[in-house]
Structure 1
Amino acid sequence: MFGIPKQLFSHVSSVAMHVVEGAELSADKTNYPVLLFSPGIRSTRFQSMTAIEELVSHGYIVVGMDHPYTSARVVFPDGRAILYQPEPEFPTSMGYYENNVKGIGIRVADASFVLDTLADWNIKDPNQLFKGKLDLDHVGIFGHSYGGAMAAEALVQDKRFKAGVSLEGGFWGDVAHTGLQQPFMYLMTEGTAESLDPSTMKKDKVFYEEFAPDLKSVMTKSTNDTYYLTIDHFYIKDLRILR
């Protein structure tokens, strides 16, 4: 995807993980809350595995999603491989903005489809693994970057999602205008936070002019608990509970 030799990443296979393929669900509880995870653009559902492992260790079932054409590579059951499709060029920032609204809407439809599938599996799982084990009254959604933008919009479009977290995603869609009714947390790195300062000349490369007003709109119009967290390197610098 990025034109980088695979050999440069050979060390990744030596990273210690806590993942076991085909593991049975714990019998400690009748069922478990569910979280859907959406990766950033040009990434995969295997992104952010440290966070996913941590959540699973606390009793969540985490479902990673890939999204055809915006994820790096998606392989369908029939063997077809769909690679990331670069975004078209637009003469204005509004063109990019409207294109992202459309793209995020497609990802939200993906998330709702996955949740529909999980509901079917909870009744009749073809693999006999999740039947009756999914607590679909407690479903959350989170994502990074483009996936974070999708998570925020999914909360507006599908009320089955009871809470959400965006890891530095944008706000493209109805969420930018209506706010949220479910609990929501937004995590931002210090570099992006500094880009919001009008006096800062050096802007983050993903910064766009609608970002600041859309973020403010979501945080002020939301009617449930809303958290805004700024992270500087390896420590939490600022946590504001807005309601």
Structure 2
Amino acid sequence: RYPVLFYVCGGGGSPEWGTVICTDLASMGYIVVSIGHQNSTMYKCKDGRLFNVSKDFSDDIMAFSEDPEMMALAGQMTMQPDDETAIETCRNVLTLPILHQLTKYSELQAEDVRYAADYLYKLDAGELHSIFNGRLLLDAGMGIVGHSYGGPTTAIVCRDDDRFACGIGLDSGAFGLLDSDLKKPFLLLFSEPNYHMNAIIGANNSMETYYFSVDHAAHLDYCDIVFTGVNEELRGERDAMEMRNLVTDYTRTFFDHYILQKPVHVESLSYDGVDLIKKTSRK
């Protein structure tokens, strides 16, 4: 039996943007599932039809980025803020009226993930004929990792579905998670000043929450655009292969520990400019 992970791409992206991390984790013994989400991602159906991001989602993302209150809060964000300041800023962001629309899509994506998880259980049980009959290690709990807008989806899934044991957000935020106790171990790997966008997660979570800050990395370095992007201005300063290795290492080590119960710990990993800035637990 093989342990199961889900990967959620960023808003406006496609599942293929996580091909590197998905294949890395698959080569290490995990079955990895990544799905397209209606309205908020690009994806291709079995019959060849291509679906793009909806105009409503694009408009909502643009409205968020141009919202005067959001722009004012972004202007106040600093590198490595103290916890109290970061939590207050995060709370202020999450109470903006514009966030209601964006949260709606995160919740819909979480429903998609739970639907796919239902399907996996049927495959494993033999209710549907497939090569996965009796091959999925579901009793250990599934893991889920999401980049950017996929990060809040990941956290919502952890909060609402006990079949998921733990989750990871890659340079993500906390949309829809203002007063949420995830009750699951969670790891955030991000570039400053993004702590302001997710500080509320660890403040509320009763299980371990890890915050790792990555220097000299850009937002899109956490997905395959680190290799395929043609606009150098969107890239950070880290070598693409090094960035790939550190994202895979932190992800694999976290899931190995919390799903497979291996005696490995993310705190033991060592990359220049990657620092554990906070580990919280209210157990």
Name 2:279's counterpart in structure 1. 241
Between the aligned partners of 1:236 and 1:121, the Cα distance in structure 2 is: 42
Aligned to 1:178, the other structure's residue is in SS state coil
User: Number of residue pairs matched?
Assistant: 192
Percent of matched pairs sharing the same residue: 28
Residues 1:56 and 2:26 are matched in the alignment: yes
Deviation at 1:78, TM superposition (A): 4.9
- Specify the alignment match of 1:154 in structure 2: 157
Matches within 5 A, 1:83-232: 83-86=52-55, 87=57, 88=59, 94-124=96-126, 128-137=130-139, 138-173=141-176, 175-190=177-192, 192=194, 196=196, 211=197, 215-232=198-215
Distance 1:164 1:129 in 2: 26
CA distance in structure 2 between the partners assigned to 1:241 and 1:54 by the alignment? 26
Q: Deviations over 1:200-229 (max 9, x none)?
A: xxxxxxxxxxx3xxx232112211111001
Match for residue 242 of structure 2? Answer: none
The verdict on how the C-alpha distance between 1:144 and 1:125 changes in structure 2, with shifts beyond 3 A counting, is: farther
Q: Please list every run of 5 or more consecutive structure 1 residues that lacks an aligned counterpart in the other structure.
A: 1-30, 197-210
Aligned partners of 1:217 and 1:169: how far apart in 2? 12
Match of residue 250 from structure 2 = none
Q: For CA contacts below 8 A with separation 6 or more, give which structure has more relative contact order.
A: 2
Shift of 1:42: 1.6
| 2:45 aligned residue | 76
**Contact 1:34–1:135, Cα closer than 8 Å, also in 2:** yes
Distance 2:16 2:47 in 1: 21
Tell me: CA distance 1:125–1:45, structure 2 relative to 1, closer, same or farther (3 Å): farther
Q: How many Å separate the matches in 1 of 2:166 and 2:209?
A: 10
Give CA-to-partner distance per residue, 1:91-137, whole Å, 9 cap, x none: 77634200011111100100000100111111227563211111112
Q: Compare the two structures and name the one with the higher helix fraction.
A: 2
Alignment equivalent of 1:46, drawn from 1, 16, 27: 16
CA–CA distance in structure 1, aligned partners of residues 108 and 182 of structure 2: 19
Shift of 1:191: 5.4
3-state SS, counterpart of residue 16 of structure 2: coil
Q: 1:237 to 1:55 in 2, by over 3 A?
A: same
Contact 2:122 2:128 in 1 (8 A): no
Two-structure CA RMSD over aligned residues (Å): 2.2
